[in-house]
Structures are given as C-alpha cells and as structure tokens.
C-alpha cells in the first residue's frame, strides 16, 4: 500500500495518535472543569457566605451611623431655626 497505509484500513502515525490522545485528555479535563464549575455555582462555599455576612453587618452599622448623623444634623438645624425665630 502506498503512503505507509495497509490495504485493509487506515492506521495513524504516532504523531496523529498522540494528538488524538491529547484531545481525549483535554475533553476529560474540560468535562471535569464543567462539573466543578456547576457545583460551585449551585452551592456557594461557607467562606463566601461568612464574608458576605460580615460585610452585611458592617454595611448595616454604617447605615445606622449615617441615619443617626443625618437625624442629629436635622435636629440641630431645627434647634438653630427655633432660636433664630425667638430672637426676632
């Protein structure tokens, strides 16, 4: 047979076989990665949840302090407004 192929069928060169083996390994790795990503996206890790809880607490504290500051400013303005009105 011409070109190194037997008459009964086609054989692969060692390089072609190596390329096919690498593709098969790549498909396996991609499937594993897809499975892991699916697991990560459906079940968030406890570390992420704990970090988010901490962030939520800090955000809540900042919100409370901001509200208190705004309330204090509004009260001060009202008091100064009343004092100014009484002096006239």
DSSP letter string over 38-71? Answer: HHHHHS--HHHHHHHHHHHHHHHHHHHHHHHHHH
Q: Which residue has the higher pLDDT, 41 or 29?
A: 29
CA–CA–CA angle 50, 39, 20 (5° rounding): 140
pTM attached to this predicted model: 0.43
Q: Is the pLDDT of residue 29 over 80?
A: yes
Could you state, in order of their start, the residue ranges of all structural domains in the chain? 13-43, 46-88
Q: Could you tell me the CA-to-CA distances from 25 to 15, 22, 30, 31 in Å, in that order?
A: 15, 5, 9, 10
Angle, CA of 62, 68 and 74, to the nearest 5°: 135
What confidence category does residue 30 fall into, taking pLDDT thresholds of 50, 70 and 90? very high
- Give residue 3's pLDDT band: very low, low, confident or very high (50, 70, 90): very low
């Amino acid at each position: 047979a011409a070109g190194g192929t037997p008459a009964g069928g086609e054989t692969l060169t060692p390089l072609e076989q190596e390329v096919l083996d690498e593709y098969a390994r790549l498909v396996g790795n991609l499937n594993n990665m897809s499975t892991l990503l699916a697991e990560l996206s459906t079940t968030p890790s406890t570390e992420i949840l704990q970090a988010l809880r901490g962030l939520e607490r800090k955000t809540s504290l900042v919100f409370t302090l901001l509200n208190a500051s705004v309330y204090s400013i509004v009260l001060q303005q009202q008091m100064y407004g009343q004092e100014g009105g009484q002096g006239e």
